[in-house]
Structure 1
């Protein structure tokens, strides 16, 4: 009985050890790059050619499906996710020079609560991708509260933000262009809304 018991225990440990070694040496699946470029960067700006590939299932602790039920992935734009040679083309930070950012903080609704506005890329469970803008109440405890969501299906997902006048948020779909919209708190309606284009008025 004792001999049998001694024989079985090493066998169990051997199986467990083999399983662990198998997991450790199994090749890791390569994740696709967050940004891929197809086209000539010498003649077309990188943010026009860029295709973004979301890889996270939450944004600042908020599950993608809580932002929009159709989303399976959503990734906030961050400088550390984008190749330096794109952001610092020519050695200078073009976004910083234009006073643009992927996330800005402020009290955009005029209250004491601090908000963060951010941009990113989403992917629906059907595979369609696009750009999103979120405004979140920042909380010292628990996950942030969603105050505003704007999502647009598009093949050109790049987006950037800027602080505008009177607590407004300027949303850009490109750099070095005039394709922007202004988002502002409406006191009467008590919600964030897009400002009318002065050219169209």
Structure 2
């Protein structure tokens, strides 16, 4: 009787088949928030003209539940219980003044789009002023905030290990990036 294939050849074929099929099974379709792109249409943030925040900006869109597609809202629903928000208020630098963190997208005068994280401080009763701005040019996509273990964190994903903690150090904010890889 003629042997068609050896055991090791069959194992190799099974292994290769698994390796080829695995990414399709594992990754499937992208999460809703990774696919969404936003159109900046606002010229003020909390009554502040955007040119006072960044002189090169043309328009912005502060992200909120109100400007999210239904599939993103559905995905966000469960994560809100864990502190995920588009805007958060607190005293992030422990100076006794109320701070507000916001995320959004921008387009500048040169047509470059990107994401932003903005920290405002309520320096005078009811008047917000910029204390920190982080810009990430490249995509006008999703970003989110979460507050955990005394740290405000910023991410472009709700299920990723790639995020930044907002740190108050020597009188200034900075981002400390964390990554799984």
TM-score range, shorter chain: 0.7 to 0.9
CA RMSD in angstroms, aligned pairs only: 2.2
How do residues 27-106 of structure 1 correspond to structure 2 at under 5 angstroms? 43-89=29-75, 93-106=77-90
Q: Return the match for 1:170 from 139, 149, 153.
A: 153
How do residues 1-201 of structure 1 correspond to structure 2 at under 5 angstroms? 43-89=29-75, 93-139=77-123, 141=125, 143-155=127-139, 157-166=141-150, 168-186=151-169, 189-195=170-176, 197=178
Which structure's residues are more often strand, by fraction? 2
TM norm structure 2: 0.76
For residues 36-73 of structure 1, the C-alpha deviation after alignment (integer angstroms, 9 at most, x for no partner) is xxxxxx71111111111011111111111111111010
- Structure 1 gaps of 5+ residues are 1-41
| Cα distance, 1:196–1:84 mapped onto 2, change above 3 Å | closer
TM norm structure 1: 0.69
For residues 133-169 of structure 1, the C-alpha deviation after alignment (integer angstroms, 9 at most, x for no partner) is 0111125645301110001102252110011333x21
Checking the alignment, whether the CA contact within 8 Å between 2:161 and 2:178 is kept in structure 1 is no
Checking the alignment, whether the CA contact within 8 Å between 2:161 and 2:180 is kept in structure 1 is no
Distance in 2 (CA, whole Å) between partners of 1:149 and 1:102 is: 15
Number of the residue aligned with 1:23: none
Checking the alignment, whether the CA contact within 8 Å between 2:97 and 2:122 is kept in structure 1 is yes
- Structure 2 gaps of 5+ residues are 1-27
Distance in 1 (CA, whole Å) between partners of 2:119 and 2:83 is: 19
Shift of 1:94: 3.4
Checking the alignment, whether the CA contact within 8 Å between 2:162 and 2:179 is kept in structure 1 is no
Distance in 1 (CA, whole Å) between partners of 2:144 and 2:178 is: 18
